[in-house]
């Protein structure tokens, strides 16, 4: 926690001084008493976020929890889609990429408000999962090598992602499996939690200061048979066994400073009958037991709709359950009706199924992160109807 607060303070110092910004996590809690100048800067961030959230409707706050994919390489359609819905940002896939330079040009043109830049994300694991041209060693090549090799590979990969102007890498697989027949085997950093944990930590350390790191797919895809792209893989593993065999790489990555944790569409039936991506129990374990205070992001929500299970066939129901469980950022790679999703979640807040404080907390985490990317400082000024009247 202290590491996150220090990172936040350093980021704010750079922003207020007009220096170049690199991604870092914005943490909560009061600064140390001796850090008086930093206290003022942290207060400035909080004041900005407080004022901005106060100016937003419930629907606007919910929209700010959504990240989507927009096809193509032109910034115009992507920016218009973000602005129309007030989205958190976009995930870039293969159809958005021609070259690193082209992606850098694209990402530089997506934010209409320099005081609150949009988030951009990419899956850049290396190896079989990459969007940008990437020849650095990936998980399969790093499994038998020292952790320092993983740190170097992920630092080089993060430099590539940062060069493309992308702020979040959904790139560190903290799952473990020794099953060579598993579809995820080639993407994991070890057969066992003990093997993988130091490499996962090293991957986060390599990315620190360059991009925001993401651990996936919590609570662990390697322990379940099946592919969550087309099903809801299920295991009867107990919580105690999970702690012994799956938790360590996630804990190591969190301790190393990971900024995001991605929830998998995975069912540990002895812990919760719902997939982890809709489970308040698993989010509670992540927050309280593993001590994660960053952003919880879902895996692609449209995967649930393709699972073949009737309980997860409805996009709006899935969104309500995920937000209610404590997911901060809903990720949609496949088609999504943003307006319907927002209306459904807002309805759940208004009828008491989701506390409004849950939405506010998620919106705050994401807004602090986005504001920290900005080189602007100062209060948020919202003059409402008076401004609209002046411009009409």
The question of whether 217 is a catalytic residue gets the answer no
Find residue 67's DSSP bridge partners.
89, 331
Residue 236: domain span: 58-356
By the 8 A CB rule, do 191 and 222 touch?
no
The fraction of the chain above a pLDDT of 90, given in percent, is 79
Q: What pLDDT, on the 0 to 100 scale, is given for residue 381?
A: 74
Nearest to 322 by CA among 282, 268, 287, 369: 282
CB 302 within 8 A of CB 312: no
Enumerate residues 6+ apart whose C-beta is below 8 A from 178: 191, 192
Q: Rounded to an integer, what distance in angstroms lies between the CA atom of residue 322 and that of residue 347?
A: 14
Residue 208 belongs to a domain: yes
Residues with Cβ within 8 Å of residue 80, at least 6 apart in sequence: none
Is position 2 within any domain?
no
Element housing 147 (H / E): helix 147-163
Biggest CA–CA distance in the chain, Å, is: 65
CA dihedral over 110, 123, 334, 63, signed as positive or negative: negative
Residue 23 lies in a domain: no
**Which tokens go with 156?**
């080089």
Cβ–Cβ under 8 Å, residues 279 and 272: yes
What number of residues does the chain have? 392
Token pair 């090549």: residue: 141
219: left (phi over 0), alpha (psi -120 to 50) or beta: alpha
Is 299 considered catalytic here? Answer: yes
Residue 339 lies in a domain: yes
Q: Locate 209 and state its tokens.
A: 């200061």
Query: Are 234 and 224 in contact, with CB atoms under 8 Å apart?
Result: yes
Q: Give the C-alpha separation, 376 to 383, whole Å.
A: 19
Report yes or no on 151 lying in a domain. Answer: yes
Q: Is residue 374, in this structure, part of any structural domain at all?
A: no
Domain count across the chain:
1
SS3 270: coil
Q: What is the pLDDT of residue 376?
A: 84
Is the distance from CB of 348 to CB of 325 less than 8 angstroms? no
Q: pLDDT per position in the chain (392 positions), as tens?
A: 333 433 443 343 333 333 434 454 333 333 344 344 545 566 889 999 999 999 999 999 999 999 999 999 999 999 999 999 999 999 999 999 999 999 999 999 999 999 999 999 999 999 999 999 999 999 999 998 999 999 999 999 999 999 999 999 999 999 999 999 898 999 999 999 999 999 999 999 999 999 999 999 999 998 887 778 877 889 999 999 999 999 999 999 999 999 999 999 999 999 999 999 999 999 999 999 999 999 999 999 999 999 989 999 999 999 999 999 999 999 999 999 999 999 999 999 999 999 999 999 999 999 999 999 998 877 787 655 544 343 33
Reduced 3-state DSSP string for 18-87: CCCCCCCCCCCCCCCCCCHHHHHHHHHHHHHHHHHHHHCCHHHHHHCCEEECCCCCCHHHHHHHHHHHCC
Q: What is the pLDDT of residue 13?
A: 34
Domain-embedded: residue 264: yes
pLDDT for 334: 97
DSSP 125: -
Rounded CA separation 238/243 (Å): 9
Q: What is the DSSP letter of 112?
A: S
pLDDT (tens digit per residue) in 349-372: 999 999 999 999 999 999 999 999
| Model pLDDT, residue 40 | 55
Nearest residue to 171 via CA among 123, 120, 131:
123
Q: Could you read off the pLDDT of 183-221 as tens digits, one per residue?
A: 899 999 999 999 999 999 999 999 999 999 999 999 999
- pLDDT on residue 41: 63
Residue of 105, 191, 229, 360 marked active site: 229
Q: pTM for this structure?
A: 0.88
Give the Cα separation of 63 and 58 in Å (integer).
Answer: 9
In this structure, what token pair is assigned to residue 334? 């496949």
- CATH code for the domain of 252: 3.20.20.300
pLDDT, residue 138, reads 96
Reduced to 3 states (helix: H, G, I; strand: E, B; else coil), residue 200 is helix
Q: Would 368 be classed as within a structural domain? A: no
Q: What is the DSSP string of 281-294?
A: HHHHIIIIIS---S
**Distance of alpha carbon 171 from the chain centroid:** 11
Catalytic-labelled residue, pool 272, 299, 300, 328: 299
Q: How many helices (H) and strands (E) does the chain have?
A: 16, 10
Task: Report yes or no: 100 and 164 within 8 Å, Cβ to Cβ.
Answer: yes
CB 197 within 8 A of CB 274: no
């Amino acid at each position: 926690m202290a590491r996150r607060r220090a990172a936040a303070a350093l980021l704010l110092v750079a922003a207020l001084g007009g220096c170049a910004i690199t991604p870092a996590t914005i943490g909560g809690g009061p600064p140390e008493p001796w850090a008086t100048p930093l206290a003022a800067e942290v207060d400035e961030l909080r004041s900005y976020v407080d004022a901005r959230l106060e100016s937003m409707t419930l629907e606007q706050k919910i929209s700010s929890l959504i990240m989507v994919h927009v096809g193509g390489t032109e910034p115009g359609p992507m920016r218009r889609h973000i602005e129309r819905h007030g989205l958190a940002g976009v995930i870039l896939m293969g159809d958005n990429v021609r070259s690193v330079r082209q992606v850098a040009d694209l990402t530089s043109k997506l934010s209409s408000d320099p005081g609150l830049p949009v988030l951009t994300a990419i899956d850049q694991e290396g190896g079989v999962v990459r969007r940008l041209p990437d020849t650095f060693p990936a998980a399969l090549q790093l499994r038998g090598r020292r952790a320092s090799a993983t740190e170097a590979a992920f630092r080089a990969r993060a430099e590539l992602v940062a060069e493309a102007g992308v702020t979040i890498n959904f790139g560190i697989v903290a799952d473990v499996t020794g099953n060579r027949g598993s579809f995820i085997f080639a993407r994991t950093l070890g057969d066992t939690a003990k093997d993988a944990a130091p490499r996962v930590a090293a991957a986060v350390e390599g990315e620190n200061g360059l991009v925001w790191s993401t651990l996936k797919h919590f609570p662990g895809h390697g322990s379940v048979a099946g592919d969550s792209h087309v099903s809801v893989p299920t295991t009867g593993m107990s919580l105690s066994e999970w702690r012994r065999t799956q938790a360590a790489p996630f804990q190591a990555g969190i301790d190393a400073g990971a900024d995001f944790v991605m929830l998998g569409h995975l069912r540990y039936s002895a812990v919760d009958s719902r997939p982890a991506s809709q489970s308040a129990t698993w989010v509670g374990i992540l927050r309280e037991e593993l001590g994660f205070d960053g952003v919880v992001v879902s895996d692609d929500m449209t995967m649930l709709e393709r699972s073949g299970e009737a309980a997860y066939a409805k996009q709006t129901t899935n969104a309500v359950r995920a937000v209610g469980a404590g997911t901060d950022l809903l990720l949609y790679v496949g088609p999504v009706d943003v307006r319907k999703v927002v209306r459904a979640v807002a309805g759940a807040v208004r009828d008491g199924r989701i506390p409004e404080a849950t939405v506010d907390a998620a919106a705050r985490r994401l807004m602090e992160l986005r504001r920290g990317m900005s080189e602007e400082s100062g209060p948020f000024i919202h003059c409402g109807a008076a401004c609209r009247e002046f411009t009409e």
